[in-house]
Amino acid sequence: MAGAVLRGDHGGRAHLDDGGLPNGVTVFADEYPGVANLAPDLMGALRAAATEAGNDAIQFRVNSGWRSREHQNRLRRAAVAKYGSPEAAARWVATADTSAHVSGNAVDLGPDAAAWLSAHGAAYGLCQIYRNEPWHYELRPEAIEHGCPAMYPDPAHDQRMRQ
């Protein structure tokens, strides 16, 4: 795997043990910490949805799942450098203390899976959380009965990011 392009890197030099993933990894790839360390309820919902989406020839490819604190910190530093300030970076990258990726409660999916979930995800409790991140999904079990909640414009508007 040396020299391989890892997903979830975002310029932060991810390694497999930090949550980086090679291209093409699906939600069924337990051999990678970026998938295996996702919260069990999120994983169950993702796999159930992915199984049904497979009937439509859609694969749930994971660009980023669980991330170590160190990896999240690297992403944050890279975002501050790119966007010029912590406030501007907050629209795209959370701190390690607030990131749902660090806790294993978020997944960034490829475009086919994200498009499928935008139409069917609420039935599994899988919801897009941020309008500016159509790839970012989190588990909201109440969505099964009530539909997904309104999206935040971006992570900077999410109260969880202000802890």
The per-residue pLDDT for range 102-146, each reduced to its tens digit, is: 999 999 999 999 999 999 999 999 999 999 999 999 999 999 999
Q: Which CATH architecture has domain 6-162?
A: 2-Layer Sandwich (3.30)
Distance, C-alpha 160 to centroid of its chain: 16
Q: Are strands 62-64 and 21-22 parallel, antiparallel or unpaired?
A: unpaired
pTM over the 0.85 mark: yes
- For the chain, which residues make up each domain, given as ranges? 6-162
Q: Kindly tell me if the per-residue pLDDT of 62 is higher than 90.
A: yes
120-123, Cβ contacts within 8 angstroms, sequence gap of 24 or more: 120/49, 120/52, 120/53, 121/49, 121/148, 122/147, 122/148, 123/49
Residue 15: band (very low, low, confident or very high) from pLDDT cuts 50, 70, 90 = confident
- Check residue 14 and give its pLDDT: 62
In the chain, % of residues over pLDDT 90: 87
Residue 153: band (very low, low, confident or very high) from pLDDT cuts 50, 70, 90 = very high
- Dihedral through CA 129, CA 130, CA 134, CA 138, nearest 10? -20
In the chain, % of residues over pLDDT 70: 91
Mean pLDDT, the chain, as a whole number?
91
Q: Kindly tell me if the per-residue pLDDT of 24 is higher than 60.
A: yes
Q: Kindly tell me if the per-residue pLDDT of 3 is higher than 80.
A: no
